[in-house]
Amino acid sequence: MAGEAITDDRVEKVIGAPLKKLEGRTYTLKRRRLEALMTERLLAREAAKQGVSVEALLDAEVALGRPAARTYAPDRGGAGADVLTSRDAVRRPRVIESSARGLRTAG
Ranking 19-23, 46-50, 70-74 by mean pLDDT, the lowest is 70-74
- Domain-located, residue 2: no
Q: How many domains does the chain have?
A: 1
- Domain-located, residue 28: yes
Model confidence pTM above 0.75? no
- Domain-located, residue 1: no
Contact between residue 53 and residue 106 where contact means Cβ atoms under 8 Å apart: no
What CA–CA distance (Å, rounded) separates 9 from 19?
A: 13
- Domain-located, residue 3: no
- Domain-located, residue 69: yes
What CA–CA distance (Å, rounded) separates 16 from 75?
A: 28
- The per-residue b/e assignment along 2-33, b for 16 or more CB within 10 angstroms, e otherwise, is eeeeeeeeeeeeeeeeeeeeeeeeeeeeeeee
Q: Average pLDDT, whole number, for the chain?
A: 75
- Domain-located, residue 27: yes
Which domain range does residue 47 map to? 8-106
Task: Please say if the pLDDT value at position 64 is more than 60.
Answer: yes
Task: Calculate mean pLDDT across residues 39-46.
Answer: 87
Ranking 25-29, 55-59, 69-73, 84-88 by mean pLDDT, the lowest is 69-73
Ranking 25-29, 78-82, 92-96 by mean pLDDT, the lowest is 78-82
